Amino acid sequence: MQQAGPILVYSIYRSDIPRFERLLAQALPNTSIHCACSPEQAAPYLGEARILYGWGFPREILSQMPNLRWVQKMGAGVDEIVEGWPDPVLLTRTAGELIAPRMAEYVLGAILDRVLRFDIARTQQERQQWQFFEIGSIRNITIGIAGVGEIGSIVARTLRRLGARVLGWRRSGLSSSAVDKLFAGFGALPRFLGACDVVVLVLPLTKDTKGLFGANLFAHCRPGAHLINIGRGGLIDEAALVAALDARHIGHATLDVFAAEPLPPRHPFWNNPHITVTPHVCGPLVPEDVVPHFLANYAAFANGRPMQNVIDVERQY
């Protein structure tokens, strides 16, 4: 394999750095590899690095990398860096199929927690109260997947294998075998939402989807609907969501992503009993899972071959 480095590996998760370093050093023993988990640690290597492989790096460091030729995000989203992307730097992302199984498990857990009414069980346990209650079944609800791409399709198939009826929505009219019925185009969103007991957001954040899910669309949801967001926090108008929950038009929201992360201490989501907050844990970036994809792209980059999961900067995904 030809050498295309030096490589700067950047992750805000300090505990992951040794694993990334070990895996990359084993595969690329003759390549200069530097690791950092903060801008200060990265600073000595910005001038020479040709490749940035990272998660959580501030966009500002890109302008300090004169030799940069390729950036690969460890995750599947690029919304926080793609605006005004510097030409001719290549931008790629990790394949969604590598992180989708864990995301499907998160969605399934969130749905079953509500369907099986474990909230009642927890309350009764706190009160030391023994009282029968009837649980539901995933086979008796309709689940909507907004964003039937790589990740959304795997989530949909996982749920269908358990007997759920799964609807899909996507911006384009491309068909999908992952769902029982597909709705396409922004005009179809109200009908899609009105047909679902649970709505799962798996969309990228672009100029077209930012704040898309607000008061107008929430008004079309089934009363008591369960909203799950594993896409991007900016998809949701957060104030409108709080209002919809307070009015009980939306029954519950399970949120793993937020417009501002970490979620600010005084944010109204923290104390809302109808919201479950998780700190962006869905789809964790396990080094052993994602590094092989980077290495395949590295080989393609070094040898001038087509790369996988190249971002269309104009479409922002």
Choose, from 280, 293, 305, 315, the residue flagged as catalytic: 280
What is the three-state SS of 190-205?
HHHHHCCCEEEECCCC
Question: Backbone dihedral region of 123: left (phi > 0), alpha (psi from -120 to 50 degrees) or beta?
Answer: alpha
Write the single-letter amino acid at 203: L
Residue 284, pLDDT score: 85
| Residue whose C-alpha is closest to residue 180's, from 148, 204, 203 | 148
Question: What is the model's pTM?
Answer: 0.92
Residue 2, pLDDT score: 59
- One digit per residue, pLDDT tens: the chain, 317 residues? 556 889 999 999 999 999 999 999 999 999 999 999 999 999 999 999 999 999 999 999 999 999 999 999 999 889 989 988 988 999 999 999 999 999 999 999 999 999 999 999 999 999 999 999 999 999 999 999 999 999 999 999 999 999 999 999 999 988 999 999 999 999 999 999 999 999 999 999 999 999 999 999 999 999 999 999 999 999 999 999 999 999 999 999 999 999 999 999 999 999 999 999 999 999 888 999 999 999 999 999 999 999 999 999 988 88
Q: Are 76 and 283 in contact (CB under 8 A)?
A: yes
Is 220 considered catalytic here? no
**Fold entry, domain 7-94+285-302:** Rossmann fold (3.40.50)
Q: Cα–Cα distance between 270 and 282 in angstroms, integer?
A: 18
Q: Cα–Cα distance between 137 and 122 in angstroms, integer?
A: 19
Residue 3, pLDDT score: 66
Q: Cα–Cα distance between 170 and 191 in angstroms, integer?
A: 13
Choose, from 34, 170, 232, 252, the residue flagged as catalytic: 232
Segments making up each domain of the chain, as ranges: 7-94+285-302, 97-277
Beta strands in 171-240 (DSSP E): 181-184, 198-201, 225-229
Is 280 considered catalytic here? yes
**Fold entry, domain 97-277:** Rossmann fold (3.40.50)
Q: Cα–Cα distance between 10 and 60 in angstroms, integer?
A: 14
Domain 7-94+285-302 and domain 97-277, same fold? Reply is yes
